[in-house]
Amino acid sequence: SSSSPTTLQRSDSIADKMPDALKQSRYHMKRCFASFVKGGKKLMKRENLMNEIEKCIEDSNDRKKIMEGLFGYILTCTQEVAVVPPFVALAARPDPGFWEYVKVNAGDLSVDEITATDYLKLKESVFDESWLVKIFIQEQYVLLKKLKESYLFFQMFCRAKDEHALELDFGAIDFTTPRLNLSSSIGNGADYISKFISSKLGGKSDKLEPLLNYLLRLNHHGENLMINEGINTVAKLKKSLMLAVNVVSTYLNTHLMKLSPRVKETMVMLSEVLEAPDSVKLDLLFSRLPTVFNVVIFSVHGYFGQQDVLGLPDTGGQVVYILDQVRALEEELLIRINQQGLGFKPQILVVTRLIPEARGTKCDQELEAIEGTKHSHILRVPFVTDKGTLRQWVSRFDVYPYLERFTQDATSKILQRFECKPDLIVGNYTDGNLVASLMATKLGVTQGTIAHALEKTKYEDSDAKWKELDPKYHFSCQFTADLIAMNVTDFIITSTYQEIAGSKERPGQYESHTAFTMPGLCRVVSGIDVFDPKFNIAAPGADQSVYFPYTETPKRLTKFHPSIQELLYNEKDNNEHMDTLRKEKPIIFSMARLDTVKNITGLVEWYGKDKRLREMANLVVVAGFFDMSKSNDREEKAEIKKMHDLIEKYRNSELYRCIADTKGVFVQPALYEAFGLTVIEAMNCGLPTFATNQGGPAEIIVDGVSGFHIDPNNGDESVARIGDFFSKCSTDGLYWDSISNAGLKRIYECYTWKIYAEKLLKMGSIYGFWRQVNEDQKKAKQRYIDMLYNLQFKPLTKKVTIPEDKSLPMRLAS
Ligand code: UDP
Ligand code: LCN
């Protein structure tokens, strides 16, 4: 029976299919498995596996046939292989979010399906061996001096072998949370929850009690917003609504009272939900309920400010994202509060650390109003330890010892300002998410988290090799904090699907936290479930008052043209440019922080090597920030000074548009990009965009329609795609415009802050209700998390060194 891979059913596990695979290709499988175990213990990734296959099956026709058969199918699903002779253990992922583990005996080709735990144990034993090698090397070269370190390694080695290593299994304490089933549903959590809740509310009247209780609790500064305490049964609520609808109808018709027609609409909606709840009605109702007024957004590390901060360490797209998010959120809140007929002011606080040594930024100021908003502020709270206030910036990898105290101090400042609890707390990045979790748990407030980037997937084997990397990166703290926050939070916002569950070929960033091991520290057998309905995709946008199409001539910021022209076409070589551009050629443009992962140097190299591309187009790269204050024009300098606040943003946007004027393109060549704000900035300006197929941009752009994907690991192919584009443009006068327009269409349909803000507010209210419905489950899980926080995380933070403050005499904490 040689069933082809296409007939594979989801229910057929990889282990079940192995016998058929063996029947199809026993000879080659035997050779391959024998070759895997040759040379002893090791860990192989997909690329290593494919290289091995090429070595073992030399004949390319044979190889093609094998790859088309069942064994090939199994190989293509395999993400990682732990070789512990005579066993070869495969971690296979047939579809996003679905993992299976099998153990094959290379000798007799017997196959066993194993658990994640058993797979991780085998994987740990691969790393045990490499540690032994290290101990050996150290003892050879450094002898007694390093005895202490060797001893530590030895201790760890013993613990890694420990059968009773700490196992974290969040799945084991989740009893009532419903879970999605399909890979394609991942990331639509709020819709799923509202369907689930509405099905729970149906039937007898008492099923509606959770909704009644939720409405009873809705208040602002102690003022009931929906119904008063007297209406304490579902029957009373139904009756009161009937009466109220009649009364309101009368008033609406006679104009005796100023009432918005929405009041009646909302009452009717609520009556309908009480009569027969369904998710469409429930969604509509929830989009109208007055649930969110005061929001706290944590973004702890870095220099968080509005001026002069971009380009400082640890300060990239996250800051841009949050400031735009606040503006969009406030705007949406103001519209809703107005429609609800309430007189409240929404308040949004972005809470970050106060840095006394602010390097010319405003990061040493406690409170700063957020530009473009009426009621939103940045609140800064210093890091304080027993040694006093920390004066200097510290890297995002070193912030862990300060976070607990920071949360306490921030919480009291926030409560003081709001004079009530916030309605929603949103964390950003590991540190912000942890702080948000601590505060939300303490106050009993709905919480959301945003990763921006999870560091675990950025560094290969960062989990298994944590001990090596810990002195520099403190991943033991970071991954534990990430797990805590992911499990505490009510909902998780991601910018793309791939961030959660990756693609067919590559696991998602969250998915990589499902099962992993940090040998000697803990074995995570169920860290997060990507099918958990807490996951929601809400992509950010770009500020459209700044990033608008190049064709909107009257709005263009022509004041920047002289300096942009100077940057692009100045004939003198200086610090900023090293070659003269030919004006008749279109420009290939790229902009990113100078970070290895952004691969700007890769792009320069591709361009340098490719004669055809060099002949067709110029290349302009902004890596870091070009300093406009160096402009020669005095008036322009004064103008720039005036605009200083928003200069980078405005000037950047005009730069994208000037590149579009040349019929050029934007290229984002990163080796990996979590989302990629520059991609949507360029597309908003109408600039055709080529972006990496590794990460978020692959989802933003529909390849060949609204832009193009390029493979950062294949320079030749990428350069050819860009070259082909320019040559097509030279023969088809409409081609450039068609891509530019399709890019804009894509943005308006999927990537705007308005869409984002609507989604976020929906999450705030739906998950606010859900946390009440699911209260018992949440409490049980919280107990488990408290232990993890206190017994594991806190001791780990003690290993992070707190820098001495040399500039000032030591002060004691107040
Ligand atoms: N940026 C900038 N100047 C630079 C490089 C980047 O103003 O030289 C801005 C860019 O316009 C975007 C943000 O910084 O708004 C970068 O965000 P992205 O998501 O692309 O990458 P990140 O830096 O967060 O990894
Ligand atoms: C961090 C990144 O690395 C980028 O890919 C994102 O666009 C940015 O944060 C905003 O989420």
Residue 244 Cα to ligand 2 midpoint, Å, equals: 49
Residue 625 Cα to ligand 1 midpoint, Å, equals: 10
Query: What is the spatial distance between Cα 460 and Cα 688, in angstroms, rounded to a whole number?
Result: 32
Position in ligand 1 atom list of the atom nearest CA 648: 7
Position in ligand 2 atom list of the atom nearest CA 673: 5
Tokens of 603: 């792009």
Taking CA atoms only, the protein residue closest to ligand 2 atom 6 is 675
Q: Which ligand is nearest to the CA of 451?
A: 2
Kindly report whether the peptide bond that precedes residue 86 is cis, defined as omega within 30 degrees of 0: yes
pLDDT of 6 > 50? The answer is no
Query: What is the spatial distance between Cα 177 and Cα 180, in angstroms, rounded to a whole number?
Result: 10
Closest-CA residue to 371 (of 322, 421, 404): 322
Which residue out of 306, 593, 650, 673 has the highest number of ligand 1 atoms within 8 Å of its CB and is therefore the one to mutate? Answer: 593
Taking CA atoms only, the protein residue closest to ligand 1 atom 1 is 592
Residue 326 Cα to ligand 1 midpoint, Å, equals: 18
Task: Provide the pLDDT for residue 257.
Answer: 65
Which residue is associated with the tokens 């070659």? 579
Helix axes 647-661, 561-569, angle to 10 degrees: 60
Ligand 2 in reach of 318 Cβ (< 6 A)? yes
Position in ligand 2 atom list of the atom nearest CA 317: 8
Task: Provide the pLDDT for residue 575.
Answer: 57
Calculate mean pLDDT across residues 780-791: 97
Task: Provide the pLDDT for residue 102.
Answer: 96
Task: Provide the pLDDT for residue 129.
Answer: 52
Ligand 2 in reach of 452 Cβ (< 6 A)? yes
Task: Provide the pLDDT for residue 595.
Answer: 82
Residue 321 Cα to ligand 2 midpoint, Å, equals: 8
Residue 623 Cα to ligand 1 midpoint, Å, equals: 9
Taking CA atoms only, the protein residue closest to ligand 2 atom 11 is 452
Position in ligand 1 atom list of the atom nearest CA 598: 25
Task: Provide the pLDDT for residue 256.
Answer: 62
Element (H, E) at 103: strand 98-105
Q: pLDDT higher for 745 or 339?
A: 745
Tokens of 779: 């409490």
Residue 319 Cα to ligand 2 midpoint, Å, equals: 9
Residue-averaged pLDDT of the chain: 89
Task: Provide the pLDDT for residue 118.
Answer: 96
Which residue out of 321, 596, 681 has the highest number of ligand 2 atoms within 8 Å of its CB and is therefore the one to mutate? Answer: 321
Task: Provide the pLDDT for residue 279.
Answer: 93
Other CB atoms within 10 Å distance of the CB of residue 555: 12
Ligand 2 in reach of 673 Cβ (< 6 A)? yes
Q: pLDDT higher for 584 or 537?
A: 537
Ligand 2 in reach of 695 Cβ (< 6 A)? no
- Give, in order, the Cα–Cα distances in Å from 171 to each of 117, 175, 217, 477: 13, 8, 31, 21
Residue 697 Cα to ligand 1 midpoint, Å, equals: 14
Query: What is the spatial distance between Cα 440 and Cα 764, in angstroms, rounded to a whole number?
Result: 13
Helix axes 60-68, 46-56, angle to 10 degrees: 130
Position in ligand 1 atom list of the atom nearest CA 623: 8
Calculate mean pLDDT across residues 261-271: 89
Residue 578 Cα to ligand 2 midpoint, Å, equals: 30
pLDDT of 716 > 60? The answer is yes
Calculate mean pLDDT across residues 467-485: 97
Task: Provide the pLDDT for residue 622.
Answer: 87
Calculate mean pLDDT across residues 19-34: 92
pLDDT of 431 > 70? The answer is yes
Band (262; pLDDT cuts 50, 70, 90): confident
Ligand 2 in reach of 674 Cβ (< 6 A)? yes
pLDDT digit string, tens, across residues 48-78: 999 999 999 999 999 999 999 999 999 999 9
Task: Provide the pLDDT for residue 577.
Answer: 56
Ligand 2 in reach of 677 Cβ (< 6 A)? yes
Position in ligand 2 atom list of the atom nearest CA 675: 5
Band (145; pLDDT cuts 50, 70, 90): very low
Which residue out of 678, 700, 701, 751 has the highest number of ligand 1 atoms within 8 Å of its CB and is therefore the one to mutate? Answer: 678
Taking CA atoms only, the protein residue closest to ligand 2 atom 8 is 317
Which residue out of 324, 650, 677 has the highest number of ligand 1 atoms within 8 Å of its CB and is therefore the one to mutate? Answer: 677
Which residue out of 621, 652, 673 has the highest number of ligand 1 atoms within 8 Å of its CB and is therefore the one to mutate? Answer: 652
pLDDT of 627 > 70? The answer is no
Taking CA atoms only, the protein residue closest to ligand 1 atom 11 is 678
Task: Provide the pLDDT for residue 266.
Answer: 92
Q: What is the DSSP code (8-state) at residue 345?
A: P
Whether residue 458 contacts residue 512, with contact meaning beta carbons closer than 8 Å, is answered with no
Whether residue 691 contacts residue 709, with contact meaning beta carbons closer than 8 Å, is answered with yes
Ligand 1 first shell, C-beta below 6 A: 310, 316-318, 320, 591-593, 622, 624-625, 648, 652, 675-678, 681
pLDDT of 645 > 70? The answer is no
Q: If you count them, how many residues does the chain have? A: 814
The type of residue at 739 is I
Band (408; pLDDT cuts 50, 70, 90): very high
The type of residue at 44 is M
Calculate mean pLDDT across residues 278-305: 94
Helix axes 234-254, 261-275, angle to 10 degrees: 150
Q: Which ligand is nearest to the CA of 697?
A: 2
Band (248; pLDDT cuts 50, 70, 90): confident
pLDDT of 141 > 60? The answer is no
Residue 434 Cα to ligand 1 midpoint, Å, equals: 25
Band (136; pLDDT cuts 50, 70, 90): very low
Task: Provide the pLDDT for residue 581.
Answer: 76
Residue 396 Cα to ligand 2 midpoint, Å, equals: 15
- Give me the helices (H) in 570-691, please: 600-609, 611-616, 634-642, 647-661, 677-684
pLDDT digit string, tens, across residues 742-757: 999 999 999 999 999 9
Task: Provide the pLDDT for residue 3.
Answer: 40
Tokens of 597: 């992962």
**241-255, 446-460, 684-698, range with the lowest pLDDT:** 241-255
pLDDT digit string, tens, across residues 340-374: 888 899 999 999 999 999 988 999 999 999 999 99
Taking CA atoms only, the protein residue closest to ligand 1 atom 10 is 678
Position in ligand 1 atom list of the atom nearest CA 673: 25
Whether residue 300 contacts residue 284, with contact meaning beta carbons closer than 8 Å, is answered with no
Q: What is the dihedral of CA 37, 40, 45, 46, to 10 degrees?
A: -20
pLDDT digit string, tens, across residues 722-736: 999 999 999 999 999
- Give, in order, the Cα–Cα distances in Å from 428 to each of 184, 454, 787: 26, 11, 23
What percent of the chain lies above the pLDDT cut of 90? 77
Task: Provide the pLDDT for residue 640.
Answer: 43
Residue 452 Cα to ligand 2 midpoint, Å, equals: 5
Strand 618-623: give its sheet, edge to edge: 618-623, 587-592, 665-668, 689-692, 708-710
pLDDT of 425 > 50? The answer is yes
- Give me the helices (H) in 340-398, please: none
Residue 318 Cα to ligand 1 midpoint, Å, equals: 9
Beta 689-692 vs 708-710: how paired, if at all?
parallel
Work out the angle at residue 421's Cα, subtended by the Cα atoms of residues 416 and 427, and round it to the nearest 5 degrees.
Answer: 100
Residue 669 Cα to ligand 1 midpoint, Å, equals: 13
pLDDT of 96 > 80? The answer is yes
**236-240, 480-484, 570-574, range with the lowest pLDDT:** 570-574
Element (H, E) at 441: helix 429-443
Residue 673 Cα to ligand 2 midpoint, Å, equals: 7
Calculate mean pLDDT across residues 708-712: 97
Task: Provide the pLDDT for residue 624.
Answer: 63
Residue 760 Cα to ligand 2 midpoint, Å, equals: 18
pLDDT of 313 > 70? The answer is yes
Residue 540 Cα to ligand 2 midpoint, Å, equals: 10
Calculate mean pLDDT across residues 278-301: 95
Ligand 2 in reach of 321 Cβ (< 6 A)? yes
Task: Provide the pLDDT for residue 580.
Answer: 66
Q: What is the DSSP code (8-state) at residue 340?
A: T
Residue 451 Cα to ligand 2 midpoint, Å, equals: 9
Give φ, ψ of 50 to 5 degrees.
Answer: -65, -35
pLDDT of 191 > 90? The answer is yes
Query: Considering Cα of 761, then 762, then 767, then 772, what sign does the dihedral take?
Result: positive
